[in-house]
Amino acid sequence: MRTVVWTIATLALLGLLAGGAVVSFGLYNIAARAGHWPITAWVLHTTYRRAVDLRAPAPGTAPPLTEEMARLGVRHFDGACRMCHAAPGQARTWTIRSMEPEPPPIAEAVGDWSPEELHWIIYNGVKMSGMPHWPSVREDDVWAVVAFLTRVQEMDAETYADWAADPPVPPGAPTGLAYCAGCHGLDGRSGNARIPRLDLQSEAYLAQALQSFREGRRESGIMAQAASAVPAESLPALAAWFASVPPAPEAAQVDEDLAARGEELAWAATQDPEVPACSGCHGPEESEVRRGPGPALAGQHESYLAEQLRLWRDGLRGGGPAAELMAKAAQHLDETDIAALAAYYAGLEPEAERR
């Protein structure tokens, strides 16, 4: 017995010394050029596949992956992912192909992963592979990218180029405008319900929102990428650009009963002791007395409003210096309140004067 214990202890010590020597004398060759042994590559890849299988949410839990989401997702992919995984019909650069492991072309990377598994991989990233995690704690906006990925294997180069294209911008436009306008439209009025209208907001509000995204005070993986891809000096000019477009008098068709309930809530007609009157900060104005300090909501996309209210309620929506006001205001909202309020404000015609 004694001999066995001594043998094991001696072997363990030798093992520790060997391991320590490999690390401290630099014996392991970390060169990407050296590549992996086939067995190492197999172990790493199998570990990756099994880890995702184990941790990804159950199949069938993904929300409906609409084309609107995919059109937002493709823009994020184009800015953040294409450099490694290449767009449909395009080749990866030789530099990217010299990575170890090599990032697969996007159709191959999607492979036969389910939407839920793709969501897990994009949100969490993959250690020691060069695949970053989602640049925000928010999980919901990852689905836009997943919506694109579920279509990418059938997508041809022309469709991709069409969906991902930056619109032409006038001469003298601020740096980054083409990139911003690709999602939000040159006039700030994206026709896409997943992408908020910017034509409603004041310059001060837009500048503050961009700064919040850039500094990580407001959560969104897509806007974190966008606000850090554009030069910081350009953000005020971009805010000014979108604020210079007069708000278009467009309001959405909404469920009237729902909107009526939302109106009661927004004006405190329900006497609810836990839900503040939204109109106190967000209008619309009843008189010449300015109501503040919140952004304009009238005419904003319904699904965007609902999504933002959920983020506020769940404590995932930071923002400017007055963010605590809205965080407290939204903490008691339930799903019915959120649907009603989103319908009410989406159904209002935008106010002519910006707040």
Partner 1 sequence: MSGCEGPQSVFRTGGSDAAQLEHLFLVMLAGAVVLWLGINGLFYYASRVSARPVSRARVEALILGGGVGLPVVVLTALLVYGLSIMPDQRAPGDGLRLRVTGEQFWWRVEYWPEGAEAPVVSANEVRLPVGRRTEIELAATDVIHSFWLPALGGKTDLIPGRVNRMSLEPTEVGTWRGQCAEFCGLSHALMAFQAITLEEAEFGAWLAREAQGLAPEARTAEGYAIFTAQGCGGCHALRGTEARGTVGPDLTHVGGRATLAAGILPMTADALTDWIRDPAAFKPGVEMPGYDHMDPDELATLALWLEGLR
Contacting positions for partner 1 (CB under 8 A): 267-268, 271-281, 286-287, 289-294, 321-322, 324-325, 327-329
> Minimum Å distance from CB 152 to partner 1?
44
CA distances from 233 to 67, 116, 230, 236, 238 (A): 33, 38, 9, 7, 10
Pick between residue 87 and residue 326 the one whose CB is nearest to partner 1: 326
CA distances from 159 to 118, 172, 185 (A): 22, 29, 19
Pick between residue 167 and residue 321 the one whose CB is nearest to partner 1: 321
> Minimum Å distance from CB 270 to partner 1?
8
> Minimum Å distance from CB 303 to partner 1?
24
Pick between residue 7 and residue 331 the one whose CB is nearest to partner 1: 331
The two most distant CA atoms of the chain are separated, in Å, by 93
Pick between residue 190 and residue 208 the one whose CB is nearest to partner 1: 208
Pick between residue 182 and residue 295 the one whose CB is nearest to partner 1: 295
CA distances from 4 to 11, 13, 16, 17, 52 (A): 11, 14, 18, 20, 40
> Minimum Å distance from CB 83 to partner 1?
39
> Minimum Å distance from CB 51 to partner 1?
41
Tell me which residue of 168, 219, 182, 216 sits closest to 72, measured CA to CA.
182
Angle at 111 between CA 110 and CA 113, to 5 degrees: 75
**Rounded distance between C-alpha atoms, residue 78 and residue 94, angstroms:** 18
